[in-house]
Structure 1
Amino acid sequence: MNNKLSITYLILIIAPLFIGCGNEKDGNKNNASASSLSLHVGNEKYFMIDTKESVVTWKGSSLNGLNTQTGYIYISKGELMIENGQLMGGIIEVDMNTIEDKNHGTDNNLVNHLKDPDFFEVIKFPFSTIAITKVASINDENKNITGNLTIKGITHSVTFPAQIEVKDGIVKANAKLVIDRTKWDVRYKSAKFYDNLANQTMSDSIEYHIKIVAQK
């Protein structure tokens, strides 16, 4: 698998684990054209995300489940805050220009479509982010993470399960996030907004599998 963060055929959305700039209020839009994410480099509480080892895989499908697409996307930068061996916060930024289809790479009609206004409008919104706001422990490794997910300049709170391991100065995290893409204005072939699509209707759900490796 390529070292890429994945999002879903948009249904696609991403994406993403991934995502805009993370300071807007819930539901607001911000037409950010460049990254404004600032990291705490040198702060011993913060572990920098290894963008070569971290991967988000996206999965999208038709409503009937017969047509499924998967792919990847790059994390451009990010960090996790660790205190006493526990995850306390963090932020991840995704470069939407790196959207990739698993089977056909980056230069194909599907990927080009995902980048246009039907989906992520990447020229206008080149970055997406997720900022962790709360971590609830289930046990030593299993957590419920809450964060602000920003895509296309729109921010909503999301909560999802994750497994976190902190060992020998390295943080490893695996998470699964499922979103309703229409909340981030990704409406293409959604039954909520279009009638008579029949078997062309796309599911509103996008599934992200997120693998993160971070270190000081």
Structure 2
Amino acid sequence: MRYHILVLLLAMSSLLTAFALSNTAEQYTVDTDHSQVKWTGEKVGGSHYGHVAVKEGVLHVADGKIESGLVVLDMSSMVVEDLKGFMKRKLEKHLKSEDFFNVEAYPTATFKIKKVYRQGKQQDEFKVIGDLTIKGITKEIHFPATIALSPTFITAKALITVDRTAFDVRYGSGSFFDDLGNKTIYDDFKLEVNIKANQK
């Protein structure tokens, strides 16, 4: 009787160990030199675009899929690409001011991955759900992404539309100010995300 109990316990222990090993997350570190987030903001009669650097990040992979992760953006690195000289410097300074992203008080923005699951017909088509934090305000967002995962690296691309007013970025918003006319800046801005991460 004791022998059978011992065998059963050993079998259960082996199964639990195998289960734990199969669910051990592998860590991929974001390659900041090959990762970037491009932004586009539109206004009445035009638009501006540029990029912001990825400061750091990590992705956790288990059973061949991303389980969780965190990407940190360096808001002080925000660059305007469609202007030059004085106008370029002026807009960059304004975007970093309290009117917009208040970079001095909030030097980083973060995206925390909560869930990733496959959608669509292609093997690299996924839906990503997570918490975006800008200016200390956190909102859940979800978006489609193209993700390629290998034993040594991950690449992820996504086009994300964000309502800036949800993060208390209201300057020039027609939703909060009247009679702005051709000075109206649209609430939604777009983020074109390109991330590469290497297995640690």
Interval containing the TM-score (normalised by the shorter chain): 0.7 to 0.9
CA–CA distance in structure 2, aligned partners of residues 50 and 59 of structure 1: 23
**In the alignment, does 2:113 pair up with 1:132?**
yes
Give the counterpart of 2:28 among 47, 53, 58: 47
Task: Give the superposition deviation at 1:116.
Answer: 0.5
**In the alignment, does 2:51 pair up with 1:72?**
yes
CA distance 1:105–1:136, change in 2 (3 Å): farther
Task: Give the superposition deviation at 1:84.
Answer: 2.5
The correspondence of residues 6-25 of structure 1 with structure 2, limited to 5 A, is none
**In the alignment, does 2:164 pair up with 1:181?**
yes
Task: Give the superposition deviation at 1:70.
Answer: 0.6
The residue aligned with 2:69 is 90
Equivalent AA in structure 2 for residue 46 of structure 1? Q
Unaligned runs of 5+ in 2: 1-23
Equivalent AA in structure 2 for residue 120 of structure 1? F
Give the counterpart of 1:123 among 101, 104, 107: 104
Give the counterpart of 1:102 among 74, 81, 89: 81
Query: Please, what TM-score do these two structures have when normalized by structure 1?
Result: 0.76
Task: Give the superposition deviation at 1:69.
Answer: 0.6
**In the alignment, does 2:142 pair up with 1:198?**
no
Deviations 1:80-126, CA, capped at 9 Å, x for gaps: 11123211111000111100011347960000000100001111111
CA distance 1:184–1:45, change in 2 (3 Å): same
The residue aligned with 1:164 is 147
Helix, strand or coil for the counterpart of 1:182? Answer: helix
CA–CA distance in structure 1, aligned partners of residues 186 and 55 of structure 2: 28
Larger strand fraction of residues: 2
CA–CA distance in structure 2, aligned partners of residues 141 and 88 of structure 1: 15
The residue aligned with 1:56 is 37
Equivalent AA in structure 2 for residue 95 of structure 1? D
Deviations 1:48-97, CA, capped at 9 Å, x for gaps: 000000011000011x3x21111011111001111232111110001111
Helix, strand or coil for the counterpart of 2:176? Answer: coil
Deviations 1:100-157, CA, capped at 9 Å, x for gaps: 0113479600000001000011111111100001112115211110110000000000
Deviations 1:21-74, CA, capped at 9 Å, x for gaps: xxxxxxxxxxxxxxxxxxxxxx96110000000011000011x3x211110111
Larger relative contact order (C-alpha < 8 A, sep ≥ 6)? 1
CA distance 1:105–1:81, change in 2 (3 Å): farther
- Kindly name which structure, 1 or 2, has the bigger radius of gyration based on alpha carbons: 2
Query: Please, what TM-score do these two structures have when normalized by structure 2?
Result: 0.82
